[in-house]
């Protein structure tokens, strides 16, 4: 049976997770929803964010009857997952900062978490550090404008090196001669800029993109494609009223989205 996978984010960042899911389950029908009417989520209060995600899910889940929902957003997952799981029966897979793998792979014990201002304030993030990285030197960066720069990049708008550099430089630290050697991309938008990060980094580091691990978790839950399965179709929904510019339309078409539509919330 062809599964329907609902992938949700505040905007375009969840496409980095969706691409990995499609690689591992190319037969799935993907419904992607970018809640860009209120982008960025990183600036919303916890109460506003919980209410917003619950409201959008109330519209999406009955309408598209997904077999699984992927909250491809750290800012939402670190807060809203318990609410979603207690309210809906469908299984949810979340995206939370990859602090455990970073602590395991960092050789200097100095690593950074590049996230949104919302994610760096979450108890969930502090708990992950206490649990898995108590021995490490962890720098949390709540980048104010980086998700917006990633959106602009995917929309084909110019994004200057200076703007990106200013957001990522605080993640590079020298602690008593030990340098940051690992940076967690704890916002699904950031892998959209990974090539630019690599080019602008003051020294080479390992960048952890959680997309492949999230996709593996999805496949664990719904299984591998059955033999002979054909390619699934994709529907991309946006809550905002900004029509996708041609470069974004082209990127969505390349990602397999044959249909792009506005999600009416009323």
What positions carry a catalytic annotation? 73, 187
Which listed residue (189, 191, 210, 251) binds ligand DGL by CB under 6 A? 189
Find the part of the chain contacting ligand DGL (CB under 6 A) among 23-31, 52-60, 185-193, 217-225: 185-193
Q: Residues in contact with ligand DGL, total (CB under 6 A)?
A: 17
Exactly one of 143, 147, 251, 252 binds ligand DGL (CB under 6 A); that residue is 147
Judged by CB under 6 A, which of 32, 41, 92, 111 binds ligand DGL? 41
Draw the binding track, 89-128, toward ligand DGL (x: CB under 6 A; -: no contact).
---------------------------x--x---------
Judged by CB under 6 A, does residue 10 bind ligand DGL?
yes
> Which of 8, 22, 25, 42 touches ligand DGL (CB under 6 A)?
42
DSSP secondary structure letters along 169-232: GGG--EETTEEP-EEEE-STTGGGGHHHHHHH-SS--EEE--HHHHHHHHHHHH-SPPTTPPPP
β-strand pairing of 257-262 with 234-238: parallel
Nearest approach, Cβ of 12 to ligand DGL (angstroms)?
8
Per DSSP, 146 falls in state H
The CB-of-82 to ligand DGL minimum distance in angstroms stands at 17
Residues 6 or more apart whose CB falls under 8 angstroms from that of 68 comprise 3, 5, 6, 90, 91, 92, 93, 218, 221, 222
Q: Is 149 a binder of ligand DGL (CB under 6 A)? A: no
User: Could you give the 3-state DSSP secondary structure of residue 142?
Assistant: strand
Task: Tell me how far apart the alpha carbons of residues 16 and 204 are, in angstroms, rounded to a whole number.
Answer: 22
Binding flag, residue 16, ligand DGL (CB under 6 A): no
């Amino acid at each position: 049976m062809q599964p329907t996978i609902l992938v949700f984010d505040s905007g375009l960042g969840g496409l980095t997770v969706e691409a990995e899911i499609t690689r591992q389950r190319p037969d799935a029908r993907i419904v992607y929803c970018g809640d860009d009417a209120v982008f960025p989520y990183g600036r919303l209060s916890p109460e506003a964010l919980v209410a917003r995600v619950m409201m959008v899910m109330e519209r999406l889940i009955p309408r598209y009857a997904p077999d699984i929902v992927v909250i491809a957003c750290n800012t939402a997952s670190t807060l809203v997952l318990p609410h979603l799981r207690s309210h809906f029966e469908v299984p949810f897979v979340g995206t939370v900062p990859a602090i455990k793998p970073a602590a395991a792979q960092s050789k200097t014990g100095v690593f950074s978490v590049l996230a949104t201002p919302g994610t760096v304030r979450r108890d969930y993030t502090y708990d992950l550090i206490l649990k898995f990285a108590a021995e490490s030197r962890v720098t949390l960066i709540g980048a104010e404008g980086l998700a917006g720069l990633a959106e602009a990049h995917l929309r084909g708008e110019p994004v200057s090196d200076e703007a990106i550099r200013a957001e990522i430089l605080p993640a590079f630290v020298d602690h008593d001669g030990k340098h940051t050697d690992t940076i967690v991309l704890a916002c699904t938008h950031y892998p959209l800029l990974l090539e630019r990060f690599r080019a602008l980094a003051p020294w080479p580091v390992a960048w952890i993109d959680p997309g492949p691990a999230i996709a593996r978790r999805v496949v664990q839950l719904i299984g591998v494609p059955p033999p002979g399965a054909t390619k699934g179709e994709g529907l991309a929904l946006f809550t905002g009223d900004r029509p996708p510019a041609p470069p974004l339309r082209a990127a969505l078409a390349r990602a397999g989205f044959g249909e792009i539509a506005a999600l009416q919330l009323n």
